[in-house]
Each structure stands twice: as structure tokens, then as C-alpha cells.
Amino acid sequence: MSVPVLDNLDLNKNQLLNALLQVIAGDHGSPVEGIIWYDSTADRVKYRDGVGIQPLTSAADLATQTALLQLRSEKDQNNGYAGLDAGGKIPAARLPTSAMEYQGVWNASTNTPALADGTGSSGDTYRVTAAASRNLGSGVIDWAVGDLVIYDGAVWQKSDSADAVTSVAGKVGVVSLVKADVGLGSVDNTSDAGKPVSTAQQTALDLKAPLASPTFTGSPAAPTPTPGDNDTSIATTAFVTAAITAVGGIAKYAVDITGNAALTQFTVTHNRNTKDISVTVWDVANDIEVIVDKKAPTVNTARIDFATPPANGKVYRVVVIG
């Protein structure tokens, strides 16, 4: 079984000989910045930087990527690529003649600006701002606000607006809705303060113990007070056992510490009135001792230092003997 090292190792500029990268068939399950491993599936060494998981680039990769690039001399050339204007868009001169080019708005009621079949540039496009029926040379067309007027090189054509609402909840015309029309038939306009407790909620509340003189069943749990407490806290079985053990002369104190993914230092109060103590730390989930930095700041406390914050909810048992 491997021993987890939870503090930094300083090799003091000595070589690390015959080392083998961790071999994983794919990406690392929980990579942090700076970690490196060998992906046996991709046959590639990978690492995690500030952006994400990155493969180490080989000369063959660079050659492949370079082959996909186009030269600057191919800009605005046949079979090359189009450059962008100052607004970050492709200039109209570089677009196909059939592409639409927005010219502004058009008033169908007054024909402003004046449009007629046979005049304009292919792709010219206007948006209708005033509705009307108007003949531009190929028959009367009903123009609605929001429609597009597009010139195809010969005649002006209409593209219906997709913004128009055709119906609401299956109704058309002047629509008046009731709550059932939108699936809210059981909803009433009742304030939060006026809402009654439902039958299901009341049933759940009836199962709760009252605050005054509650009666518990099963195996209720309570926080274990600090050894030596002399107040009105509930004395749990763990507290009583520790107190009896202390009276018997066994100078041992044990407590669990729980990580929150933020703290690296944990202070344990053992009240042994001495710095001559021995401290061990155990990984509760895996039942193994772990290596951490341990200090005795005072005669009644011990400090546990982790190199990186333990994961949220990760539990370690601290045992103090002395």
C-alpha cells in the first residue's frame, strides 16, 4: 500500500533518478495545475496548466498544424481568404453578388426610398417600417411592418417577418386570457403570508419532535463537548467514555478534524499541560496514517499543517499521547 505524502518534499537540488510518470489510460481524474502524467491511450505525456489539460507538443504535431495554415500573401486572393474591415466584418466587395446587403428601412406607404423592379443592386435589402399594399412592378404586394424587401437583380421580393405573433394560447385576434388558458387553473393570487399549509406539509410537521420536552427514538446524536467541559451541554457517550478513560490515567486524546477545501492549518486543544506529546494523524476513510507537519504551539494545543487544503468533508483522526 502506498503512503500518501500530504506535505511538500524538498530534494534540495538533488536528482530524482529512475522515476516513472503515473500511467493513466486517459486524462487524470482530478488534475491540478502543474501535475503531469502519461496517457497510455493517446500515447502522449500530458500536463495541467492554468487553462486546462494540455499534451506535450511533438515536432510531428507542429508540422501537421503548420500545414493547416494559410500564408498572409493569400489574403484577398483567389482560393485564399478574405480580410476583415475596421469593424471586424468581411467587406461587401468580397461577398458573392447574391449575398444580401442591408440598406436601411423602407416606408411602404410612401415608397421611401423609391423602389421599383429593374432598379437596384442584387442583394439590396430593406426592412419595412410602415405597412401598406404597393405594386413595385410585378403586382400588388401586402407589406407588413418588419418584412424584408430584397432585390434579386430583376424584381423586389418580400420575405415575411418572423417576428409577428400569429396566436396566443391558441387564440387569435384581440386576445383575452384566463389562467386556465396557460395551464394555471389551480393558481390563486394569494400572498405568501396568506398561503395555507398543505396536508402533506402538516403530516411532515406532525412527525417532528417539539422544542419543549422532546422525546426521541432510535439512536439520536449530539455534538460531543470538549474534554473537561463543565456546563449544561449534553454529555454524549463519547464524552463520558473519554472522561472515564482520563480518570484511569491513560493520557490520550483523540479528535476528528474535517477539511473544507480552504484551511491548511488545524489546531487541536488537548489540555495535557505539556509540550512533551506524540501526535499521529490517520485517514479515517482508508484507515492509514498520513504524514503531515505537526507543531506544539502551547502546552495545551497541537497544530496540524497540510501542504494543501484537505478536500471538503475529508475526515482525519488526530491522536495525542503525552
Whole-number pLDDT of residue 234: 87
Whole-number pLDDT of residue 217: 83
| Residue keyed to cell 463543565 | 230
3-state helix, strand, coil in the chain (%, to 5): 15, 30, 60
Whole-number pLDDT of residue 250: 53
For Cα atoms 9, 11, 12, give the angle at the middle one, nearest 5 degrees: 125
Whole-number pLDDT of residue 319: 94
Whole-number pLDDT of residue 98: 60
Please, are residues 289 and 319 in contact by the beta-carbon 8 Å criterion? no
Whole-number pLDDT of residue 64: 78
The helix/strand/coil state of 302 is strand
Whole-number pLDDT of residue 72: 84
pLDDT in tens, 1-24: 677 878 888 888 888 888 888 899
- The span from the CA of 186 to the CA of 190, in Å, is 12
Whole-number pLDDT of residue 295: 93
Q: What are phi and psi of 257, to 5 degrees?
A: -120, 145
The H or E element spanning position 48 is strand 44-48
The number of beta carbons lying within 10 Å of the beta carbon of residue 200 is 8
> pLDDT under 50 in the chain at which residues?
none
Whole-number pLDDT of residue 264: 94
Q: CA-based Rg of the chain, rounded to a whole angstrom?
A: 38
Please, are residues 309 and 259 in contact by the beta-carbon 8 Å criterion? yes
Q: Where would I find the beta strands (DSSP E) of 116-226?
A: 124-130, 132-135, 140-143, 148-151, 156-159
Cell of 14: 538533488
Whether pTM exceeds 0.85: no
Whole-number pLDDT of residue 97: 58
| Residue keyed to cell 467541559 | 229
